[in-house]
Amino acid sequence: MRTPRAAQPPDHRTRPAGRPRAALLIAAGAALATAFTWGSVPAAHGAQAAGLPDGTEFHDYPLQVHAWVEANPGDPRQPLIADRIAAQPQAVWFSHYEPGTVTRDAAAVTSAAEAAGEVPVLVSYMIPNRDCGGASAGGAPDFPSYLDWVEDFAAGLGSGPAAVILEPDSLALTTCLDGAERAERFSSLARAADLIHAANPEARVYFDAGHSAWHEPAAMAATLTEAGVLESGDGIYSNVSNYRATGDEVAFAQDVLAALGDDSLRAVIDTSRNGNGPAGSEWCDPPGRLVGENPTADTGNELIDAFLWVKPPGELDGCAGPAGQFSPEMAHQLAGG
């Protein structure tokens, strides 16, 4: 069963009018940097704790939804979208191959988060042959270029806490790869995580586990092990760009972690669009869905680091419009309109 293809996000350098510019954010970060850390328990994989501390606040960086809200004050859908979606912290996707600016662009996000005493969530989405040529096809032209891009991306992560969602679909979706291509991808993912940790030991790197209706936990754990999560990762993520119910994803993630057998690993779950659960097997812009639990590190489960909004609600999967395009109509539906 295919996972929903992670949508092509907007240019992460675009900011709505009136939002702080990167230079101001970097200056503010230098002046207001906090003493926030992951904690005192060392992890095996380069971060500073076995899990996110309760009370962690995630950073709300301006995305397409913010631009739309600011540009459409008279639209009858605007109040609900602003209140239910734009008010929540969401992940920032790095999906456009722009090696000359990626360090600066990542630094704009992380410095703004550090200035606010919050944790940014960043999605690295640049693996070659991503989505097996589907609606979100693209990525770096080859693996040496990919690792160069990751090194530049990591250079912008600063020194504060950050959560990195490493390459959605990269492990759960490998049907288009032969054995050599699979091995090259997996070794590059492990190397990418190592580069991120070397640049910022406070960063937590989560590897792709698909979702609860795709692969069996033992099979997913075997793939994750092959890709180096035990040596290079801080945990796993599930349900990115999907609609599976939170309870199912928690159970699935716990089973994958148990199969991995490393008690320092944790999981995060994408709850951005799973408030009504799945629409059968349909993953591509199904109607009648709702946003799910708000982003939080207070999950009530020590194995689940956070519920996150990884896929920004309202950004399309590729069926109701181009993948990654913001749809106010879809956002309004997801907000409960």
What SS3 class is residue 238? strand
Of 152, 169, 234, 305, catalytic: 169
How far is the C-alpha of 81 from the C-alpha of 40, rounded, in Å?
Answer: 39
What kind and span of H or E run contains 186? helix 179-199
Residue 25 DSSP symbol: H
Of 131, 152, 285, 305, catalytic: 131
Name the token pair of 303.
């194995």
Name the token pair of 7.
């949508």
Q: Which residues contact 253 (CB under 8 A, 6 or more apart)?
A: 209, 236, 238, 267, 269, 303, 304
How far is the C-alpha of 252 from the C-alpha of 229, rounded, in Å?
Answer: 17
Taking residue 70's Cβ as centre, other Cβ atoms within 10 Å add up to 16
Residue 177 DSSP symbol: -
DSSP string of 115-183, one letter each residue: HHT-B-EEEE---TTGGGGSTT----SSHHHHHHHHHHHHHTS-SS-EEEEE-TTTTT--TT--HHHHH
Question: Would you tell me the crossing angle of helices 143-155 and 179-199 to the nearest 10 degrees?
Answer: 20
How far is the C-alpha of 84 from the C-alpha of 335, rounded, in Å?
Answer: 6
Of 105, 208, 248, 317, catalytic: 317
Question: Do residues 163 and 268 lie in contact, with contact meaning Cβ atoms separated by under 8 Å?
Answer: yes
What SS3 class is residue 78? helix
Q: Is 169 a catalytic residue?
A: yes
Name the token pair of 302.
């020590």
Q: Is 317 a catalytic residue?
A: yes
**Which residue's structure tokens are 């806490």?**
161
How far is the C-alpha of 2 from the C-alpha of 125, rounded, in Å?
Answer: 18
Strand 203-208, strand 235-238: pairing: parallel
Identity of the amino acid at 229: V
Half-sphere exposure of 6 (CA within 13 A, CB side): 35
Active site residues: 131, 169, 317
